[in-house]
Chains A and B, each alone.
Chain A
Amino acid sequence: MSAELATGVKQTVRDFILRSVAIKKLDDDDDLFASGIVNSLFAVQLMTFVEKTFAIEVDVDDLEIANFRSLNATTAFVLRKNGRLNG
């Protein structure tokens, strides 16, 4: 269940990023910030997408690069935040 959820979340986030920025592919552990994929406009758009799509709220306690550094990190954050990591 957890693996399926993680795959679904990851693909949904990957699709959004690939729809939004000018890159052809995105690997699971590519650094979104260091690579320049995420600028300040896209950082808040990605956050809003994650909030809207997965019905979570990103708040001040979640402001950690480790939560958004890569696709894998964002997926883990989403699952942890909505309590389905071990679902």
Chain B
Amino acid sequence: MGELATAWLDEANEASFNAFVAANVAPFAEDWDRQQRIPESALALIAGAGYLGCSVPREYGGQGWDTVSFGLLNEALGRGSCALADVLTVQAMVSMTLLKWGTREQKQKWLPPLASGKTIAAFAMTEPGAGSDLRSLSTTLAREGEHYVLNGAKRWISCGQFAGVFLVFAMHGQHSVACLVPRESAGLRIEPIDDLLGFRAAGLAELRFDAVAVPAANIVGKPGFALSHIAPVGLHFGRISTACSALGLLRGCFEESIARAATRRIGERTAGQIGMVRSMIARMGADLEAARLLCHDACRAEDEHLPAAYEKTLIAKYFTSRAATRAASDAVQICGASGCHASSAVSRYYRDAKILEIIEGTTQIHEDVLGKMFVDKAGRIAHER
């Protein structure tokens, strides 16, 4: 693939990640999808490779990688299994939020087990009545004496089935607040959500908090800043991860499609000799090239700590997840009936791609934000003339 799509900067890392996925992820992804679970042995493998703490600084037991390397890893995992990549996504969302906004004590307590993978984290924001509109959270955190009490429910929480700690977003009176809630907390009930369209092995769950005691030491940031400053940091890394996972899925669709087009015979010709198939592959290949550039640009902007990293990431996530959906649909078409069977990777890609357009901000939320941003820019240019 390297000869067709622009190579990322670190070819050694890319080769290493792809080899890991080819040996440990891709051959098992369909089985995990059917079983609707990732085995502990697979989680132990990515933890043992240091992947779950790859972005966490070395002083906290992580690998201290830059974001470009993080993106490459996500691309490789997304090529193999978006469900497994999702574990990396939410681990990064919680770890990077704590790295930015945690107290010294919180970082020392939580980052080492998150970096080693001893503890898996989940980002508990979405509620039955609050998905895209985060201002309508109904989960509450109330002060009672020396500690706080959490009540409410969260739904569609990735890794909720096996996470050891949850970063929960709630309202404290009129103020948004974030807090850490360990899995073993009394009053926390976790119910698996099965039979999803895609990401079937990502361990989604519904969480119910019934008077869960939260010590003050577990409040992350300060009340009033959870939605304006705390969550955006986590969601930003979630979008970087998701964009790059979508890039991996897109690459998978392309590679499966060209392999199939070269070998599938239709009469006297191969599928790849048919113009309409070539059109689908052309769109896929051009999207892949563009998506790689956008993802790489967003990762590099984050490494340079540029304010523009946020909008570049929105653009990368928006473009790449939509391109992945188009590519998955065409890949199934090119593979024909075999692409419709559960044993086929493109069948799983087709279902997982749609999820990529929904998580970490739907396509429509991205269009709303990006559309306003572009219109505002046009307005400023007109004003300056």
Consensus secondary structure, chain A interface: helix
| Contact in complex: B310, A63 (CB < 8 Å) | no
Consensus secondary structure, chain B interface: helix
Q: For residue B372, which residue of chain A has the nearest CB?
A: A22
Cβ proximity bits B344-385 to A, threshold 8 Å, 1 near / 0 not: 000000000000000000000000010000011001100100
Q: Which of A33-87 contact B (CB under 8 A)?
A: 38, 40-41, 43-49, 51-52, 59-60, 63-65
Most buried by A among B305, B307, B369: B307
Q: How far is the CA of A59 from the CA of B97 in the complex (A)?
A: 11
CB-CB under 8 A from A47, the residues of chain B are 229
Report the minimum CB–CB distance from A63 to chain B (whole Å): 5
CB-CB under 8 A from B376, the residues of chain A are 21-22
| Contact in complex: B310, A45 (CB < 8 Å) | yes
| Contact in complex: B101, A43 (CB < 8 Å) | no
| Contact in complex: B379, A63 (CB < 8 Å) | no
Interface-lining segment among B189-197, B199-207, B231-239: B231-239
Total number of A residues with any Cβ neighbor in B under 8 Å = 24
| Contact in complex: B380, A22 (CB < 8 Å) | yes
Q: How far is the CA of A49 from the CA of B369 in the complex (A)?
A: 19
Q: For residue A22, which residue of chain B has the nearest CB?
A: B376
Q: Is B221 an interface residue (CB 8 A)?
A: yes
A43 and B310 in contact (CB under 8 A), knowing A19-B380, A21-B376, A51-B305?
no
Select A60's contact among B222, B227, B314, B383, beta carbons within 8 Å.
B222
| Contact in complex: B306, A41 (CB < 8 Å) | no
Q: For residue B103, which residue of chain A has the nearest CB?
A: A60
| Contact in complex: A22, B379 (CB < 8 Å) | yes
| Contact in complex: B379, A43 (CB < 8 Å) | no
Cβ proximity bits A16-32 to B, threshold 8 Å, 1 near / 0 not: 10111110100000000
A44 and B229 in contact (CB under 8 A), knowing A60-B221, A65-B224?
yes
| Contact in complex: B380, A48 (CB < 8 Å) | no
Most buried by B among A46, A48, A60: A60
Q: For residue A64, which residue of chain B has the nearest CB?
A: B222
Cβ proximity bits B223-255 to A, threshold 8 Å, 1 near / 0 not: 011011101110010000000000000000000
Q: How far is the CA of A46 from the CA of B306 in the complex (A)?
A: 10
The 8 lowest CB-CB distance pairs between A and B, nearest first, are A22-B376, A45-B307, A49-B307, A44-B232, A48-B307, A63-B222, A43-B228, A63-B225
* A–B complex contacts, Cβ < 8 Å, 19 sampled: A19-B380, A20-B307, A21-B376, A22-B380, A24-B383, A40-B231, A41-B310, A44-B310, A47-B229, A48-B305, A48-B310, A51-B305, A52-B305, A52-B307, A60-B101, A60-B221, A60-B222, A63-B225, A65-B224
